[in-house]
Homo-oligomer: A and B are copies of this chain.
Amino acid sequence: MRFFKSDNTAAVCDEILQAIAEANAGAAVAYGEDRWSRRLDQVYGEFFGREVRVFAVSSGTAANSLALATLCPPWGTVLTHAEAHIERDECGAPEFFTGGAKLSLVTGAGAKVSAADLAARLHWFEPHVHGVQPRMLSITQSTERGAVYAPAEIAELAKIAHARGMRVHMDGARFANALVAQPVTAAELTWKAGVDVMSFGVIKNGGMNAEAVVFFDPALVADFEFRRKRAGQLFCKGRYASVQLLAYLESGIWRRNAERSNALAKRIAEAAPQYLSEPFATNQVFMNLGQPRIDALIAQGFGFYPWGPTGSGECRFVCSWDTPEDDVDALCAALQKLG
């Protein structure tokens, strides 16, 4: 099968495996006190151009949920897009980790939170004990529909959120894809635009099983470390997670892999632009093919997901760092031949 299901079906990058092998020498202090874990703050601080606190966890869901639980009380609510991963694809993990905080949903094209809708939605919350209180905004970069936020767009949302006393979380499961898609720095796309904490994705872009939670203000870390331990996310052999996070930045694969997957996706988008249901931006391509064409592609051995509610006729193709060129060639050809 030619796989376009997701970037999480990809293998692990050689650079990551190599770094793991190199770290595998002799004893190391357990539970995050090893020398790899101790370097995280510095290496990520350099990447982002400011002091940060960085912690490894084993999944994007854990990263998102722990970040939210640290900054949102149980009686708070997290404003987020109705199609956000934290709302649709984590089986209620944010509610579990926060002790029952609520997600309040906002709309916007391309799964991007609309500033106007955010402002309107916030009007519903009153500062009394009868209702949950807005405490966080969570945005996804790049979004669940492949779109990207520009720094100014993030800044606009963050301004609204901060004015209300809320903190801003970025789900950056595909952050590298969003970063290389724009002529901006990691700093401009995060803390300079008002992001307070982010889930920094590594796995989808070549990693194995470690993601990072990055706090842009050390004071916000609060009781994060207790919560992480309590969630079973503090690893005894912590070096094997941390070294992935280090190699991801230090080897440069964050950029190389993201550029490659974006470029491959662009070829797909350009092969059949008439079907695009979202403007092309990163490594995900959304098309309204209709069920007969979807069936035809499946019959030809292409693996991909239908999108939206059953029967919508929409589908999604995702390219990963290791999608074979040959598979992309085949898909482009197949798309062009569809009647």
Residue A103 at the B interface, CB < 8 A? Answer: yes
Would you call A75 and B234 a contact (CB within 8 A)?
no
CA distance A103 to B95 in the complex (A): 11
1/0 contact trace for A103-121 toward B, CB 8 Å?
Answer: 1010000000000000010
Would you call B105 and A236 a contact (CB within 8 A)?
no
Residues of B within 8 A of A99 (CB): 74, 96, 99-100
Residue A11 at the B interface, CB < 8 A? Answer: yes
CA distance A175 to B228 in the complex (A): 25
CA distance A234 to B60 in the complex (A): 10
Binds B, one of A83-91, A157-165, A269-277, A292-300: A83-91
**A91 in contact with B203 given A75-B226, A232-B61 (CB within 8 Å):** no
Would you call B98 and A237 a contact (CB within 8 A)?
no
A7 CB to nearest B CB, Å: 9
Residue A181 at the B interface, CB < 8 A? Answer: no
Interface hub of A66, A95, A99, A209 (most chain B Cβ within 10 A): A95
**A227 in contact with B89 given A20-B17, A59-B236, A237-B8 (CB within 8 Å):** no
**A132 in contact with B92 given A123-B310, A230-B75 (CB within 8 Å):** yes
Residue A93 at the B interface, CB < 8 A? Answer: yes
Residues of B within 8 A of A241 (CB): 209
Would you call A131 and B88 a contact (CB within 8 A)?
yes
Query: Which of B133, B229, B235, B322 is A93 in contact with, Cβ under 8 Å?
Result: B229
Would you call A5 and B17 a contact (CB within 8 A)?
no
Binds B, one of A25-33, A145-153, A188-196, A255-263: A25-33
Residues of B within 8 A of A77 (CB): 92
A123 CB to nearest B CB, Å: 4
For chain A residues 54-82, which have a beta carbon within 8 Å of chain B? 57-63, 65-66, 73-75, 77
Would you call A25 and B8 a contact (CB within 8 A)?
no
Residue A332 at the B interface, CB < 8 A? Answer: no
Residue A21 at the B interface, CB < 8 A? Answer: yes
What are 21 A-B pairs at a CB distance below 8 A?
A8-B31, A10-B237, A17-B20, A26-B322, A31-B129, A59-B236, A60-B232, A66-B232, A74-B230, A75-B230, A92-B102, A93-B229, A95-B100, A95-B102, A96-B231, A97-B232, A105-B105, A120-B309, A124-B309, A208-B237, A209-B240
8 closest A-B pairs (Cβ-Cβ)? A62-B232, A95-B100, A8-B236, A75-B226, A61-B232, A3-B27, A99-B99, A123-B309
Show the binding face of A for B, using Cβ within 8 Å.
3, 5-6, 8-12, 17, 20-21, 24-31, 57-63, 65-66, 73-75, 77, 88-93, 95-103, 105, 120, 123-124, 129-133, 203-204, 208-209, 223, 225-237, 240-241, 309-310, 320, 322
